[in-house]
Amino acid sequence: MSNENDKPAVTAQQPFDLKDPTLYLNRELSWLEFNQRVLDQALDAQKPLLERVKFLAIAGSNMDEFFMKRIGGLKQQVAADVVEPTVDGRTPQQQLDDCYQKIVEYMLDKEQVVSQVFGDLREQGIEILRYSDLTKDEVAEVRRNYYDNIFPLVTPQSVDPAHPFPFISNLSLNLLVTLRYSGESDISLARVKVPVGAAASRFQRVGDGFRFIPLEEVMANNLDLLFPGMKIVSCELFRLTRNANTSAKEEHADDLLATIETALHHRKFAPIVRLQVTADIDPVHRGQLAAELGLDEEKDVSVGAGMLGLRDLWELYRLDFPELKDVPHHPIDHPQLVKDRNIFHIIREQRAILLQHPYESFSTSVERFLYEAATDPNVRGIKMTLYRTDPDSEIINYLIRAAQNGKQVAVVVELKASFDEQANIKLASRMEEAGVHVTYGVVDLKTHAKIILVVRQDFKGLRRYVHVGTGNYHPVTARVYSDLGMFLYDREVGQDATELFNYLTTGFTPKRNYSKLLPAPKILKKVLIEKINREIFVHSEQQPGLIRFKMNALEDVDIVRALYRASQAGVVVELLIRDSCRLRPGIVGLSENIRVISIVGRFLEHARIYYFQNAGQQEFFIGSADAMKRNLEHRVECLVPVTDAVMRDQLQTIFDLQLNGCEGAWELQSDGRYQQLAGNSENPAGNSQKSMIRLAEKRLHEVQRLRKRKAQPGPNGQLIDD
C-alpha cells in the first residue's frame, strides 16, 4: 500500500513548528492502515486456516463500521459545508478523497486474499461452490431445500412508476433482477432481499460434507419460483451501507431514553454512504442504482470481483474443524481468588488484586464479585457503570437479584454506546422494572469508565470495595479481548469512586476532590500532560526519562505535542498503539526517541496502561481512556494508579514482551506505513499473547505449590509456613 499521506516523509529540520500539519498523521487513514494489518493476518500461512477466515470476517466487519461511522461522519461535515482542516491539514472532503483512494487499494488486496483463502479451504475439503459446479442431483436437492425452508421468507418488490424504489436496509444483500414477459420486449426491474441472518445461513450446505453454496447463488438460479412464466434477463448482486451517526440533542431532551430510541429509528432510514456491487453488473444498472439511491457513482460505488459482506464468513469459522483453529484457550482462575473464601475477605486481605483477561477468568473474578455482592447479607449497596455487555449476561441477573435482596443498586447505563444502543435500552428497562436505580450519565458526555463500587458492612463499619477495568463488563469479549482490571480495598479509591458515582448520577459539577482516581473530562488530560512535562524536567544522562503508553488509539493533538517535546528533550517514548496514531515517529530532531508498535494477534489488544519512570519513582496507571480528544474531553473516563511492586512488574512484562519484536508486531514508520517485525533473540518465544498465557499458568502453579507446601507437616509435625 502507499504511504499514509501520499506525501514525502518529513525531513529533519530545526526548530520544528508543532502546528505544522505535516507532523501529524490522519486519523482515518491511520485506521485504514490498521485494518490492512488485520486483513494481512488472513494471508499468514502459519496461522490455522479457519483463524485466517476469522480475520477476513473481522476485516470486513471493521470496514462496514468504518463506512457507517467515519465515512458517514465525514459526509455529514461535507454536507454542512465544513471546511476547517484537521491538525494534519485536511478538510473533510480531502479526507474523504484520500480514504476512497486507500479503500480502492484495500479492495484489490482483499480480493486476492479471499481468493487465496478460499483456495486453501478447498484443499482442506471445505468448498465454496458456484451453481454451475453442482451435479443434477445436487441442483435438485438445493432447490428443494430452498423451496421448503427459505422461499416462504422471500419477498420480491417491483420497481416501476407504480412502485417506487423500495427501502433497502443497512448491510443487506440484494438481487437486482431484470425481467420481461415472454414474447414482450418491455423490461421490468425487481429487487429481492437475500434473507441472511436468523432466517437463513449465507452458506447453504450441499450434501453431507463441507461443500457450500452462497444463498444468493441459490436464489439467483431459482428465480422462476418468484417470477413464474417470466424471462429472466439478468440478476445482479448489490449491498448497501447506511450512515450510523445519529443526532440526539440531549441538552433539550426531557426523556433521554425516548430521544435515543427516536435517533435509532432515524438511523434505520439514514442516508446511504456506500453501494457495493460485483464486477459483472451492467454499467447501466450500476448507474441506475446509484441514481435511485442518491449516490455519486464514481466515489460512492464500490465494485469488487469477490464476495460482498465478508462478515458472514463467521459462519465458516464456526465449522467443527478443531484442527483448523487455534487450540481452545481456557482462562485460569486467578490464583489469589480461592473458591472456598468470601471474595471480600480476600480483597480486604490483599488490598489490591490485578486481573489479566482473557488469561485469567472473567467469570470467576468480576462476575463472582457481583454474584457475591448480590447474595452477601452484609453488602448494602452496589454502584456500577455499564457501557456494553452481553444481553444474556449473568451480570444483569446478579444486579437484579441484588435489588430483589433489598440492596441499594445503582447502574449508570450508557445508552449511546455505538451499535449497542437498542440492547442497552432493553437492559435498562429490564433493570428498572426489577427495582434497580438506572441513570444515563451526564448530559453530552458518554460514560465510558469501567468501575464497580460495592459498599459492605464489615466488622469495623461500612467499607468500600472497588473494581476498575480497561474493558467492558462483557463476558463474551472478556474471552477474546486482552484487558486488565483491579480489585481494590483502598479508603481513598473508595472515596474517589463514591465522588465519581455522585457525579454520574446527578450531573452536578461542584468542585470534586479525587485523591487517587484520575477521571476525565475534568482532570485526566491535564494530569497526563503534567506528567509528560515532569518526565522532561527530571530527565538526565544519569537517569534518562522513559514514558510507555499502551492504548487503542493516540489521537489527541495536545498529548502528541507533549510527547514530541519529550522526545526532543531526550526522553525515550515507547508506545503500543493498536490502531489509529497521529504521531510520526523517527523524525530526526523531533521524534527519533519515539517508537510506535501495533500488535495484531489472536486476542484484540484492548488494555490501557500509562507508565512514567519519574526519576526512579515509577508510576503506573490503568483504566478505560485512550489518548483521544473524545475520550479525554467528551467522555467520563477513569484511570487508577497501580502501586503494588509485583503488579507493576507484571505490567512492565507486558511492555517488554510486546516492544521486543514479538510475533504480530508492526512498527510505524514516519511516513505512516507499518513494517512487520520478526521475533528476536531476546524474545525467542515470539508470541506475546502465548507468553501471557504461560505466565498466568506459571503464577497459578507457583501459588498452588506454596499452598501445598504450607499444608505439609514439617519434621516435628508442624505445618510449614513460608
Tell me which residues are annotated as active site: 448
For residue 532, give the nearest of 589, 640, 612 by alpha carbon.
Answer: 612
- The neighbour count for residue 542, using CB atoms within 10 Å, is 6
Contact (CB, 8 A) for 572 and 546: yes
Contact (CB, 8 A) for 227 and 384: no
- The neighbour count for residue 74, using CB atoms within 10 Å, is 23
Strand locations in 201-351 (E):
203-206, 211-214, 230-242, 272-278, 301-304
Contact (CB, 8 A) for 587 and 556: no
Give the phi and the psi of residue 631 in degrees, each rounded to 5.
-70, -40
Place of cell 476532590: 513
Place of cell 496514531: 581
Mapped onto helix, strand or coil, the DSSP state of residue 514 is coil
Helix H segments across 462-572? 491-506, 524-538, 557-568
Task: Please give the Cα distance from 31 to 145 (Å, whole number).
Answer: 42
Beta bridge partners of 272: 242
Our CA dihedral for 486, 489, 495, 496, rounded to 10 degrees, sits at -20
Contact (CB, 8 A) for 604 and 482: yes
Task: Please give the Cα distance from 108 to 36 (Å, whole number).
Answer: 11
Mapped onto helix, strand or coil, the DSSP state of residue 401 is helix
- Amino acid identity of 485? G
- The neighbour count for residue 375, using CB atoms within 10 Å, is 13
Angle at 668 between CA 640 and CA 448, to 5 degrees: 30
Place of cell 503506573: 620
Record the cell numbers describing residue 44, joined without a space: 499468514
